[in-house]
């Protein structure tokens, strides 16, 4: 999991939109307050469009399979039922065309198994910004 | 043997009340039996005086027996008041007097009188305190010496010298029979007492065992309830306040971005955002301290290294393949480890190396936290809240705490819980 850093953010902001095609974003979080805030972040990010905001991992997977083209998923690590880590692992195992950004209110040190689940990045929830989404997408696309 | 006053102080147990009631009945029976024996003896003496031999000897004996019988019956009063100690003391005094006068009047049956002087103290045992028993024993010894002297070295009264041999035989046989009856009564009472005490002790032991089990279960439930409450508070903080603050922080960044052309507003929002992030960290740390989420998710294998990593100075950790254990064990061991690590940081000094090792087998979980600091005085810290809380906490899950410290060589805290890990 690549952690964001400030250099990436500045670089991404200066570079502007990555292409003319908008990237679909799915937000998956069981907390309504953060789900709404994350949706606003996506809406404010250039080059991204909010496809849907869902409450669970299975719903996120269903959305990804429904959408055409690459998808960026903002996924909460801990959700009731299927966790964000389990959902990310399934997305990875099924080779779905989605880049997952794991987000959490917990400290990264308090989360188990987030390193090998196939997520592109981990971001503390309060650090989620449009610029960061862009940076992560660029970094992941480049790799 | 249980003492009467001890029993009465225990009070409410039905078995103990029954023992006390039975002893009181025995005492009354003994007093009445003793009185009747004396009065019947006195009547026999008078009868013999009137019909067989008009010797003053019989009048002496009758007066002695009747007088003593009259005093013995007075012991019923303290007995009824519940003052068994005074009742049996009176019994002893009168019986000694009776025996001594008997030896004075009839020196050649002194051995029988000696027997009569010994019985009361045997009977008195369950009813008196130790100090009173000592006094009664001393009284018995003095009485026996007096009887011995009176029966062997004197015949001052010479009252029985003219009694026909046949009558004397009747007298001895009658007296011995009465004493034998009293001895049987004492033996019977002692046997009953022993049996009932055994039963009571058995019942009390069973009762105490049951209460201890209930207490242990209740303690476990309390600890489990506390752990659940901690977990709930942590969840509430995480799902409630922290999510709201997080959403606010994200939106504040968006607002800052929207107002980027107004530097003053952006500065204010930037400062607010920094405060907000500080508040989020505060809530996160608070929630972590209440119940570390990694412990619930991944157990001690990940939670202990994570806890150690937060410490200053750092601590080396070995927790290879520690399996999952029931939640109550993991929580108890985790918080005890935190306490031990915090103690090591406090007492071992900044230069000391601290090491935490955990091993989980099919039978037990063992964690040692050792440092190479200057050591601690175990006696001084043992009564402190820290170690006591740790020991109490572990005891609830059947665990033990061992602390060993050597001056200038360091301290080792060993936490051990002899319970198997969760299956799978």
Interface test with B, best of A4, A30, A37, A103 (most B CBs within 10 A): A37
Inspect the interface and report whether the beta carbons of B288 and A110 lie closer than 8 Å.
yes
| CB environment B212-232: b (16+ within 10 A), e (fewer) | eeeeeeeeeeebeeebeebbe
The pLDDT tens digits of the residues spanning B42-58 come to 998 899 889 887 888 88
- Residue A8 reports pLDDT greater than 90: no
Inspect the interface and report whether the beta carbons of A126 and B309 lie closer than 8 Å.
no
Inspect the interface and report whether the beta carbons of B298 and A112 lie closer than 8 Å.
yes
Distance of CA B141 to the CA centre of its chain: 37
Q: How many CB pairs under 8 A join A and B?
A: 71
Enter the tokens of residue A111. 């989360």
Interface of A with B in 70-129 (CB under 8 A): 78, 105-107, 109-113, 125-126, 128-129
Q: Is B252 in the A-facing interface, judged by CB distances under 8 Å?
A: no
Torsion angle, alpha carbons of B24, B27, B28, B29, to 10:
120
- Residue B33 reports pLDDT greater than 90: no
* pTM score of the predicted model: 0.67
Inspect the interface and report whether the beta carbons of B254 and A109 lie closer than 8 Å.
no
Binning pLDDT at 50, 70 and 90, where does residue B156 land? low
Residue B195 CA to residue B26 CA, distance in Å, equals: 15
**Using an 8 Å Cβ cutoff, are A9 and A128 in contact?**
no
Q: What is the chain A residue with the closest CA to B246? A: A126
**Using an 8 Å Cβ cutoff, are A115 and A1 in contact?**
yes
Q: Can you give the pLDDT at residue B7? A: 40
Enter the tokens of residue B290. 């209440």
Its ipTM equals 0.84
Q: What is the chain A residue with the closest CA to B245? A: A126
Strand pairing report for B399-406 and B410-417: antiparallel
Q: Roughly what angle, to the nearest 10 degrees, separates helices B327-347 and B165-237?
A: 80
Q: Which of A31, A113, A126 faces B239 most closely, judged by CB atoms? A: A31
How close does chain B come to A3, measured CA to CA in Å? 18
The pLDDT tens digits of the residues spanning A38-76 come to 999 999 999 999 999 999 999 999 999 999 999 999 999
- Rounded average pLDDT over B341-352: 84
Q: Is B314 in the A-facing interface, judged by CB distances under 8 Å?
A: no
Inspect the interface and report whether the beta carbons of A112 and B297 lie closer than 8 Å.
yes
Q: Which of A107, A113, A128 faces B250 most closely, judged by CB atoms? A: A128
How close does chain B come to A134, measured CA to CA in Å? 15
| Residue with the two structure tokens 């102080």 | B9
What does residue B77 show for φ and ψ, rounded to 5 degrees? -65, -55
**Using an 8 Å Cβ cutoff, are B167 and B53 in contact?**
yes
Inspect the interface and report whether the beta carbons of B302 and A105 lie closer than 8 Å.
no
- Residue B81 reports pLDDT greater than 60: yes
Give the mean pLDDT of chain B. 86
Length of chain A, please? 143
Residue A100 CA to residue A64 CA, distance in Å, equals: 11
| DSSP 3-state of A116 | coil
How close does chain A come to B334, measured CA to CA in Å? 14
Q: Which residue has the higher pLDDT, B92 or B192?
A: B92
- Residue A1 reports pLDDT greater than 50: no
| H-run or E-run covering A60 | helix A57-66
The pLDDT tens digits of the residues spanning A102-134 come to 999 999 988 988 888 999 999 999 999 999 999
Q: Is B249 in the A-facing interface, judged by CB distances under 8 Å?
A: yes
Identify the CA nearest to B334 among candidates B233, B231, B221.
B231
Q: Which of B251, B280, B306 faces A109 most closely, judged by CB atoms? A: B306
Residue B371 CA to residue B347 CA, distance in Å, equals: 10
Identify the CA nearest to A11 among candidates A142, A143, A140, A134.
A134
How close does chain B come to A105, measured CA to CA in Å? 7
Interface of B with A in 322-381 (CB under 8 A): none
**Using an 8 Å Cβ cutoff, are B244 and B198 in contact?**
no
Inspect the interface and report whether the beta carbons of A110 and B253 lie closer than 8 Å.
no
How close does chain A come to B251, measured CA to CA in Å? 6
Q: Roughly what angle, to the nearest 10 degrees, separates helices B327-347 and B300-309?
A: 20
Angle at B364 between CA B221 and CA B361, to 5 degrees: 130
Q: Can you give the pLDDT at residue B344? A: 87
Q: What is the chain B residue with the closest CA to A79? A: B239
Q: Roughly what angle, to the nearest 10 degrees, separates helices B327-347 and B385-396?
A: 160
Q: B61 burial class (0-12, 13-18, 19+ CB within 10 angstroms)?
A: buried
Q: Which residue has the higher pLDDT, A99 or B169?
A: A99
Inspect the interface and report whether the beta carbons of A110 and B292 lie closer than 8 Å.
yes
Strand pairing report for A71-76 and A121-124: unpaired
Q: List C-alpha distances in Å: B96 to B14, B141, B157, B190, B276.
A: 36, 10, 19, 21, 94
Inspect the interface and report whether the beta carbons of B254 and A41 lie closer than 8 Å.
yes
The pLDDT tens digits of the residues spanning B96-130 come to 998 998 888 888 778 888 988 998 888 888 889 99
How close does chain B come to A137, measured CA to CA in Å? 19
């Amino acid at each position: 999991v690549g952690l964001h850093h400030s250099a990436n953010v500045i670089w991404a902001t200066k570079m502007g939109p990555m292409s003319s095609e908008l990237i679909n974003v799915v937000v998956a979080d069981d907390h309504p307050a953060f789900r709404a805030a994350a949706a606003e972040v996506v809406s404010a990010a250039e080059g991204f469009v909010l496809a849907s905001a869902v409450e669970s991992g299975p719903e996120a997977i269903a959305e990804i399979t429904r959408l055409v083209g690459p998808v960026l998923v903002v996924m909460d690590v801990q959700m009731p039922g299927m966790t964000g880590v389990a959902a990310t692992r399934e997305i990875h195992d099924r080779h779905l065309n989605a880049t997952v950004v794991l987000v959490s209110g917990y400290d990264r040190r308090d989360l188990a198994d987030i390193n090998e689940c196939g997520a592109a990045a981990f971001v503390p929830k309060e650090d989620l910004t449009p610029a960061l989404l862009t940076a992560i997408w660029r970094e992941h696309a480049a790799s | 043997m249980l003492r009467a006053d001890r029993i009465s102080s225990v009070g409410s147990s039905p078995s103990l009340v029954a023992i006390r009631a039975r002893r009181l009945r025995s005492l009354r029976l003994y007093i009445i039996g003793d009185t009747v024996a004396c009065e019947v003896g006195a009547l026999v003496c008078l009868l013999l005086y009137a019909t067989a031999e008009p010797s003053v000897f019989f009048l002496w004996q009758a007066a002695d027996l009747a007088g003593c019988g009259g005093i013995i019956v007075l012991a019923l009063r303290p007995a009824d008041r519940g003052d068994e100690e005074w009742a049996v003391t009176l019994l002893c005094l009168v019986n000694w007097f009776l025996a001594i006068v008997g030896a004075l009047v009839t020196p050649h049956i002194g051995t029988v009188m000696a027997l009569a002087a010994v019985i009361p103290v045997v009977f008195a045992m369950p009813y008196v305190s130790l100090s009173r028993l000592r006094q009664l024993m001393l009284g018995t010894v003095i009485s026996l010496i007096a009887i011995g002297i009176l029966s062997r070295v004197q015949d001052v009264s010479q009252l029985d010298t003219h009694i026909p041999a046949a009558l004397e035989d009747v007298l001895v046989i009658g007296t011995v029979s009465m004493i034998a009856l009293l001895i049987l009564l004492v033996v019977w009472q002692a046997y009953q007492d022993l049996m009932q005490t055994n039963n009571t002790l058995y019942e009390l032991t069973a009762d105490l065992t049951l209460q201890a089990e209930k207490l242990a279960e209740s303690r476990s439930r309390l600890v489990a309830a506390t752990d659940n409450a901690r977990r709930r508070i942590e969840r509430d903080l995480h799902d409630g306040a922290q999510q709201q603050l997080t959403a606010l922080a994200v939106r504040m960044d968006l607002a800052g971005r929207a107002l980027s052309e107004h530097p003053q507003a952006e500065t204010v929002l930037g400062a607010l955002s920094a405060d907000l992030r500080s508040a989020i960290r505060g809530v996160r740390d608070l929630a972590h301290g209440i119940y570390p989420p990694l412990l619930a998710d991944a157990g001690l294998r990940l939670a202990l290294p994570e806890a150690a990593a937060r410490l200053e100075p750092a601590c080396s950790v070995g927790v290879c393949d520690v399996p999952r254990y029931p939640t109550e064990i993991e929580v108890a061991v985790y918080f005890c480890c935190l306490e031990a690590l915090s103690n090591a940081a406090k007492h071992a000094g900044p230069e000391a190396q601290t090491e935490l090792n955990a091993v989980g087998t099919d039978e037990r979980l063992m964690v040692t936290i050792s440092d190479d600091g200057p050591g601690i005085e175990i006696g001084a810290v043992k009564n402190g809240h820290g170690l006591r809380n740790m020991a109490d906490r572990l005891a609830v899950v059947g665990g033990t705490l061992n602390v060993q410290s050597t001056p200038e060589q360091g301290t080792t805290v060993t936490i051990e819980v002899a319970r198997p890990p969760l299956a799978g």
